[in-house]
Amino acid sequence: MPLFVTDRTWQVQLGLISGMIALTGILMVVLNWTTRIEGGRDISGILIIAIPLLLLSVLSLCRVYPATFAIALLFFIFGIFLLVGSLRGVPFPWLIINVSLGLVMMYPLVALIRVWLRKKVEKAVEKGHASRTPTP
């Protein structure tokens, strides 16, 4: 089955991916600590994004729907920023990479909406308000 489209696993998968991204950001800040003490660049601003993302990912792992929707929306916004920013002035090889990554980052919200619509149709079929077969 494709990633993010089953009812039981899409929240957990999105929570795992966002948790890995958040932990990578936190690890970068921790590993940069000695460089910062010696006069290097301070990248502790990453924690402003990493800690809330880690909290949202834990909530998503617990299958809290609003947290999963927030993560998917943030990924979608980041994907749009990648697309628009890349089209404005990125050289050729990086353009393909950024556009591809931007499209991949938009996928969780699209899959989330797909699952939500499928659940809505199933509820309507159970109540007798709709049928599964399309009418011509």
pLDDT of residue 132: 62
pLDDT of residue 8: 62
Residues 93-113: b if buried by 16+ CB within 10 A, e if exposed: eeeeebbeebeebbbbbebbe
- CA nearest 108: which of 64, 78, 63? 78
pLDDT of residue 82: 92
pLDDT of residue 92: 86
- CA pseudo-torsion sign 99, 102, 107, 109: negative
- CA pseudo-torsion sign 14, 17, 19, 21: negative
**C-alpha span between 126 and 26 (Å, rounded):** 46
pLDDT of residue 135: 56
Asked if residue 95 lies in contact with residue 102, where contact means CB atoms within 8 angstroms, the answer is no
Asked if residue 48 lies in contact with residue 22, where contact means CB atoms within 8 angstroms, the answer is no
Report residues of the chain scoring pLDDT below 70. Answer: 1-8, 130-136
pLDDT of residue 4: 47
